[in-house]
Amino acid sequence: MRRNQAWFDILSPKNQDIRLSEAWDALIDEEYVLLGQAKFEALMDTKQHQSFELRLKRTFDVSKPNSNDPSSLQEPMWVLLSIFPEVTEEGEVMEIIGCFTDIRYVLHMNLHQPLHLTEMRYQGNIEP
């Protein structure tokens, strides 16, 4: 399997030579492993692209996005994964092309924005 630098930067595997079968348990939150595997199976069955969100085991510091300090407020990282089949003339999947997009900040803002707005209303900074 070929991977580019973005794959390593986003997923941060400890083993740079990790196989896909091992990557599921090593990198993906256990609640999302079956979903991800099902999407890959659907791609193989339908020969159609699949897009889905995955929560990673990797976390990030909410207050310092590029920090890896484990004592800080940690939130799980999320990615949007789109996978596309490269199909032979016979209709067999020859290769899967994947695209990861880091969506941790989008999800973090969506999850915490209502709370932030409520706090601002409570403090009298905005009208209800």
Highest mean pLDDT among 4-8, 15-19, 59-63, 93-97: 93-97
At the top level of CATH, the class of 5-103 is alpha beta
Q: In the chain, where does DSSP find H-type helix?
A: 5-11, 20-27, 30-46, 104-122
Q: Is the pLDDT of residue 114 over 90?
A: no
Helix (H) or strand (E) holding 56: strand 50-61
Q: Which pLDDT belongs to residue 89?
A: 96
- Comparing 5-9, 37-41, 71-75, 92-96, which segment has the lowest mean pLDDT? 71-75
User: What is residue 8's predicted lDDT score, i.e. its pLDDT?
Assistant: 84
Q: Determine the pLDDT at residue 91.
A: 94
Domain residue limits, the chain:
5-103
Q: Can you give the pLDDT at residue 108?
A: 63
Closest CA to 103 of 76, 127, 67, 66: 76
Residue 37 in this model has a pLDDT that exceeds 70? yes
The CA distance from 51 to 47, in Å, is 13
Q: How confident is the model at residue 117 (pLDDT cuts 50, 70, 90)?
A: very low
User: Residue 121: pLDDT band by 50, 70, 90 thresholds?
Assistant: very low
- Does pTM surpass 0.75? no
pLDDT on residue 25: 95
